[in-house]
Structure 1
């Protein structure tokens, strides 16, 4: 009985650690999406709309709109997972101040690392769990939806692992 209680306690710690890693990854990805949306929006502002610049401005505006949609969806996922609104606000405000290539690369690298860490912890937890995590329902069944969304984001994170030389 004592061993079972110890195992349960350890499993609960692993679940909390995994959830915190997933939460951090979701907030990090939301920050990257917000930075991309802010940069796209700043480049969509037309200085002079003549000829081909007018078409380019329309494309830039469409890209900015799409990036803002992705950012809002990432923020919603982070909130559904339980991220504190003030924490998300701080990350997004900081990310929207990113202006240089180095700033964007830093945000992207941080989000990619967070995604890989969350995926590693999730895989480790699933190995030690005898039942599928998808069978557990969070508040109003949101846990399954969040898990599906995170798997989608994690798949996108795989794209970030590619290097110029084609390595992984």
Structure 2
């Protein structure tokens, strides 16, 4: 009974801590993936706008070329900031480089939409995991706790019954109940 702490055993507490650590790692990985995905989208936008600026310059439309250059510079700034954030969060440089290189070859609207949808999904997934982590144990863990608490309550009730001197019945092989100990009390001995 000494190892029961607030309705939980020490083993259950250790298991809960391990599960929480796994969930923290899963959440951190999801956040890293989201940061790298957003960096990829920003790099794709920067590459496309730079390409558009080059096309505008070659076509002789100076005003459109200046606007495209400004947008390309802004997108490149956002992309570099996203890359720095991903690195600060712990993403490996090679992973970021691979994502950015893959994203910069995007040319069609479908490519950009796919990258954007992937980044949005990664952001939503990371946010969901982060909110679950902040709320605490998952529903399944809560259900297990209720089962564990029920078992512990049954054990405590049985111990309390014995300590107060309850009557215990024994089931024989023939299916009959017999009194095995009558009015046994441990209070007198303590």
Q: TM-score range by the shorter chain?
A: 0.7 to 0.9
Question: What are the ranges of 5 or more consecutive residues in structure 2 without an aligned counterpart?
Answer: 1-9, 138-190
Q: 1:24 matched to which residue of 2? A: 33
Runs of 4+ residues over 3 Å off in structure 1: none
SS in 1 for 2:58: coil
Matches within 5 A, 1:88-107: 88-107=96-115
Matches within 5 A, 1:112-151: 112-128=120-136
Q: 2:78 matched to which residue of 1? A: 70
Give the whole-Å Cα distance in 1 for the aligned partners of 2:63 and 2:35: 34
Deviations 1:93-119 (A, max 9, x none): 010000011111110110010000000
More helix by share: 1
More strand by share: 2
Q: 1:47 matched to which residue of 2? A: 58
SS in 2 for 1:98: coil
Q: CA deviation at 1:55?
A: 1.4
Choose 1 or 2 for highest CA Rg.
2
Question: What are the ranges of 5 or more consecutive residues in structure 1 without an aligned counterpart?
Answer: 130-168
Which of the pair has the greater relative contact order for Cα pairs under 8 Å at 6+ separation? Answer: 1
